[in-house]
Amino acid sequence: MSARTVLLASPRSFCAGVERAITIVERLLDRAGPPVYVYHHIVHNLHVIERLRGKGAVFVDDVDEVPDGATLVFSAHGVAPAVGSRARGRGLDPVDATCPLVAKVHSEVHRALKEDRHVILIGHDGHDESDGVRGIDPERVTLVESTADVEELDLAGRDLAYACQTTLSQTESAGIIAALKQRYPDIEDPPSEDICYATTNRQNALSAVLAEADFALIVGSRYSSNTTRLWELARELNVEARLIEDSGDIEPDWLDNKDKVALTAGASAPSELVDGVIERLAELGPIRVEERTTAVETMEFHLPGSLR
């Protein structure tokens, strides 16, 4: 039996923003002891959440669930200003783990609103990040998810700007941006790219190995936007793909007649989950792992001053 080739895409797994957010919670647990309360899931990965929960993190969906005097962390996806105001109004002193690249989008939206522009946010309804951005001013930030949504807009005569959720697919956002510019030629671009470097790098790395693959495994949680975009990318390139939480999800018959398997993980998925998938594939038959690197990531984000 010839060895199956596993084409390991790089970069993959944790990005700098995810590492920063998780480290914030871990340091608070080490210094203050449990419980540490976190508004929403700190990052979108079930393995990470269960590990932190085991250390004493408590994840809540409402500031009112947090006891007086407790430590509260805002997740990597950012929160609406009203959430911060409510927390401080209760005497809580929240620690902000918002990814700096998400915070950049918040700053851009605040600036556009101060210039009296209406902001069109390209993103996914119900995602924590988009909810946080929309919450800056729900009356003047309008969400669109598709080119069809653009056609439904009625914003003629207004000064406009657009922003993007940081975890979108490049092709998905490009089509919507083109539709916006066709309908509203004077719409203002963001000062710099909103889709984050890690999202783009993981999509580019996967694209490079998909060119050779006849099957793909995408490691990460289904409620992770950037992970789902990787699965969608494989489907767009006509490569059969499965999105899995971990190696336990793999069905042996998926691999029937699959000689080259692309393997990657979303930016919120721990690297050890990928190691576990490789081990599982090796149990199912001989493999040869070939890592393909399309970019080297050196980005680091500082922790809040009180935790350095």
Measured CA to CA in angstroms, residue 258 lies from 215, 239, 245, 264, 288 at distances of 6, 11, 21, 16, 13
Same-domain check for residues 105 and 180 = yes
CATH number, domain containing residue 161: 3.40.1010.20
Each residue's pLDDT tens digit, 20-55: 999 999 999 999 899 999 999 999 999 999 999 999
CATH number, domain containing residue 39: 3.40.50.11270
| Residue ranges of the binding site | 15, 44, 77, 99, 127, 166, 196, 224-226, 268
Q: Is residue 215 part of a domain?
A: yes
302: number of Cβ within 10 Å: 9
Q: Number of folded domains in the chain?
A: 3
What is the C-alpha separation between 209 and 216, in angstroms, rounded?
Answer: 9
Q: Is residue 304 part of a domain?
A: no
Same-domain check for residues 135 and 46 = no
Q: Is residue 302 part of a domain?
A: no
The domain boundary residue, chosen from 71, 96, 121: 96
Q: What is the pTM of this model?
A: 0.95
Q: H or E segment at 106?
A: helix 100-114
Confidence tier at 136 by pLDDT (50, 70, 90)? very high
Q: 129 an active-site residue?
A: yes
The confidence score (pLDDT) of residue 169 equals: 87
Q: Which listed residue (108, 129, 145, 172) is catalytic?
A: 129
CB contact at 8 A, 86 and 63: yes
Same-domain check for residues 148 and 86 = no
The domain boundary residue, chosen from 68, 96, 124: 96
Task: Give the 3-state DSSP-derived string for 149-177, with helices as H, strands as E and coil as C.
Answer: HHHHCCCCCCCEEEEECCCCCHHHHHHHH
Task: Look up residue 284 and give its DSSP letter.
Answer: T
Same-domain check for residues 153 and 202 = no
| Residue ranges of the binding site for dimethylallyl diphosphate | 44, 77, 127, 224-226, 268
116: number of Cβ within 10 Å: 9
Same-domain check for residues 27 and 84 = yes
Cα 204 vs. chain centroid, distance in angstroms?
A: 15
What is the C-alpha separation between 308 and 300, in angstroms, rounded?
Answer: 13
Structural domain harbouring 177: 100-195
The domain boundary residue, chosen from 142, 167, 195: 195
Q: Is residue 174 part of a domain?
A: yes
Same-domain check for residues 200 and 154 = no
Same-domain check for residues 204 and 150 = no
Same-domain check for residues 214 and 266 = yes
Each residue's pLDDT tens digit, 179-208: 999 999 999 999 999 999 999 999 999 999
| Residue ranges of the binding site for isopentenyl diphosphate | 44, 77, 127, 224-226, 268
Same-domain check for residues 118 and 177 = yes
Same-domain check for residues 82 and 106 = no
Same-domain check for residues 126 and 113 = yes
The confidence score (pLDDT) of residue 279 equals: 98
Q: One-letter amino acid identity for 249?
A: D
Same-domain check for residues 127 and 213 = no
Q: Is residue 190 part of a domain?
A: yes
